[in-house]
């Protein structure tokens, strides 16, 4: 009954490419200590090309197709998906380890991956990051200068297809001001830690102290 006690929470953050979810999550990680929240970021594995401002092992583990497929075959991934012809997936052992140590783990994954994670961990909390508009999304995609025109158009079309899926997420953040979105995400994690199903075990712990010196 009390299987949720002391275990970390899986916090899934999704949103279209360039919605700013990565930046929001980075701010959350920076602010977590001061906010007294234990969080870890799950680093995904991908076969896509490394971007000019990216570092292997920071935003992703960049691997070959062969290596990725080996990880699928060995059941090392909690979920995976292919996007724009490239694989993306969540390493399972790190995720499980952190949860057992009581860390809340943020997964920055797409809608398809979210569905897979919810099948295995139905208590995961889902947060969708919406850009304020498509104009802003296009501006952000162009400013990061990573994609060809064709890829930009693909990512915008993919965003239009994906955004309606935000309707079944637990929370939606419209990402206008990074700092505000980060604070909101931290508040969500804190509130979820105090949701009844997660903290109910404390009732018995407190009751057990009754009448003791």
Rounded-to-integer distance, Cα 185 and Cα 188, Å: 5
Stretch that binds ligand 5GP, among 64-72, 87-95, 186-194, 200-208 (CB under 6 A): 87-95
In this chain, which residue has its C-beta nearest to ligand 5GP? 113
When the beta carbons of 14 and 40 are compared against ligand 5GP, the nearer one is 14
Residue selected from 24, 89, 106, 166 as contacting ligand 5GP according to rule CB under 6 A: 89
- Residue in 90, 104, 126, 175 binding ligand 5GP, rule: CB under 6 A: 90
> Taking the complex as a whole, how short is the minimal distance between the CB of residue 136 and ligand 5GP, in angstroms?
16
According to the binding rule CB under 6 A, does residue 192 interact with ligand 5GP? no
Listed ranges 88-96, 120-128, 134-142, 171-179: which one lies at the site for ligand 5GP (CB under 6 A): 88-96
Closest among 53, 58, 55, 83 to 68, alpha carbons compared: 83
Helix (H) or strand (E) holding 185: helix 178-193
How far apart are CB 201 and ligand 5GP at their closest, in Å?
31
Look at residues 4, 9, 43 and name the one whose alpha carbon lies nearest to residue 202: 4
Measured distance CA(65)–CA(46) in Å, rounded: 9
User: Is 126 a residue that touches ligand 5GP (CB under 6 A)?
Assistant: no
Q: Which of 24, 47, 88, 131 binds ligand 5GP (CB under 6 A)?
A: 88
d(Cα 83, Cα 175) in Å, to the nearest integer?
Answer: 23
Q: Find the binding residues for ligand 5GP in span 17-36 (CB under 6 A).
A: 17
Q: What residues numbered 41-80 form the site for ligand 5GP, per CB under 6 A?
A: 44, 48, 79-80
Among the listed residues 10, 110, 129, 175, the single contact to ligand 5GP using CB under 6 A = 110
Asked if 106 is part of the footprint of ligand 5GP (rule: CB under 6 A), the reply reads: no
Neighbours of 167 (CB within 10 A): 8
Q: Using CB under 6 A as the criterion, which residues of the chain lie in contact with ligand 5GP when the complex forms? A: 14, 17, 44, 48, 79-81, 83, 88-90, 108-110, 112-113
């Amino acid at each position: 009954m009390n299987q949720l006690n002391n275990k970390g929470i899986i916090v899934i953050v999704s949103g279209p490419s360039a919605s700013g979810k990565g930046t929001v999550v980075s701010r959350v990680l920076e602010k977590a200590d001061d906010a007294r929240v234990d969080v870890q970021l799950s680093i995904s594995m991908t076969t896509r090309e490394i971007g000019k401002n990216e570092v292997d092992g920071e935003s992703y583990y960049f691997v070959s197709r062969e290596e990725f497929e080996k990880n699928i075959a060995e059941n090392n991934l909690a979920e995976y998906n292919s996007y724009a012809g490239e694989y993306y997936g969540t390493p399972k052992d790190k995720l499980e380890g952190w949860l057992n140590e009581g860390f809340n783990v943020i997964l920055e994954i797409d809608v398809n991956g979210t569905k897979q994670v919810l099948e295995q961990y139905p208590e995961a909390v889902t947060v969708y990051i919406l850009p304020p508009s498509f104009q802003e999304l296009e501006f952000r995609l162009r400013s990061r200068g990573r994609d060809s025109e064709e890829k930009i158009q693909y990512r915008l079309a993919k965003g239009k297809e994906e955004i309606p899926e935000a309707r079944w997420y637990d929370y939606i953040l419209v990402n206008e001001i990074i700092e505000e979105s980060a604070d909101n995400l931290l508040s969500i994690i804190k509130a979820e830690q105090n949701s009844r199903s997660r903290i109910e075990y404390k009732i018995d712990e407190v009751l057990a102290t009754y009448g003791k010196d």
